[in-house]
């Protein structure tokens, strides 16, 4: 199974980048992950798409989403919502008629230094995904609060409880993707 991670932070040292690194450590067996490069996608302009086609970075993102078995968003919350450049990437990727989010299993995670984690960003992202007919995992919600207390000085997710929540989120995404593909989860009885 192959997962495409889409990060909503541009900062190299962000807690969400550190969360992605933890995800890479905690991947279930048989699962691979790659990060989508959305940093070169220009501001969305449908005139550009209609007259010139998709810019290369947007075309690459659409292809990555289409070929992935699942998508995992890992993002901070900006002004109670989804970071602008992340929403911009989603807007480029989601143009009809062949938008790649339709029917795609999706996981959402986020880290912040605040009390509510990224709950508002996740809600806003879920609204967008609902419109795109993506299929987000319902639970567990992976909201890393007080992130500065959960990662060590080297950027490793050191808090064991949080590691378990991140691992449970990955397990839920993989199980959801397998279910949608008609596969039984590992260890499930036949029939």
Average of per-residue pLDDT across 2-24: 95
To 10 degrees, what angle do helices 84-93 and 56-67 make? 70
Query: Can you give the CATH number for the domain in which 25 is found?
Result: 3.40.50.360
What is the pLDDT at residue 116? Answer: 86
Statement: residue 87 has pLDDT above 70: yes
In a domain, 185, yes or no: no
Tell me, yes or no, whether 83 lies in a domain.
Answer: yes
Pair of tokens at residue 136: 């987000």
The model's pLDDT over 107-162, given as tens digits with 9 standing for 90+, comes to 999 999 998 889 999 999 999 999 999 999 999 999 999 999 999 999 999 999 99
Determine the pLDDT at residue 187: 52
So what's the pLDDT on residue 191? 37
Q: What span, in angstroms and rounded, lies between the C-alpha atoms of 172 and 54?
A: 33
Domain that holds residue 145: 2-180
As a whole number, mean pLDDT of residues 12-22 equals: 95
> Rounded distance, CA 134 to CA 111, Å?
22
Average pLDDT over residues 17-21: 97
């Amino acid at each position: 199974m192959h997962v495409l991670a889409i990060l909503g932070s541009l900062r190299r040292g962000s807690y969400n980048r550190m969360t992605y690194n933890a995800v890479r450590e905690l991947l279930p067996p048989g699962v691979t992950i790659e990060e989508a490069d959305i940093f070169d996608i220009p501001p969305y302009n449908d005139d550009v798409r209609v007259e010139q086609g998709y810019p290369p970075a947007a075309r690459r993102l659409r292809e990555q989403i289409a070929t992935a078995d699942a998508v995992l968003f890992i993002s901070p919350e900006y002004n109670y919502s989804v970071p602008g450049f992340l929403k911009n990437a989603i807007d480029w990727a989601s143009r009809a008629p062949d938008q790649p989010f339709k029917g795609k299993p999706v996981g959402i995670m986020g880290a912040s230094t605040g009390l509510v984690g990224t709950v508002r960003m996740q809600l806003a992202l879920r609204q967008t995904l609902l419109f795109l007919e993506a299929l987000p995992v319902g639970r567990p919600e992976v909201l890393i609060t007080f992130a500065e207390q959960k990662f060590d000085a080297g950027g490793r997710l050191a808090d064991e409880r949080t590691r378990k929540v991140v691992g449970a989120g990955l397990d839920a995404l993989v199980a959801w993707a397998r279910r949608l593909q008609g596969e039984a989860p590992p260890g499930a009885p036949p029939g």
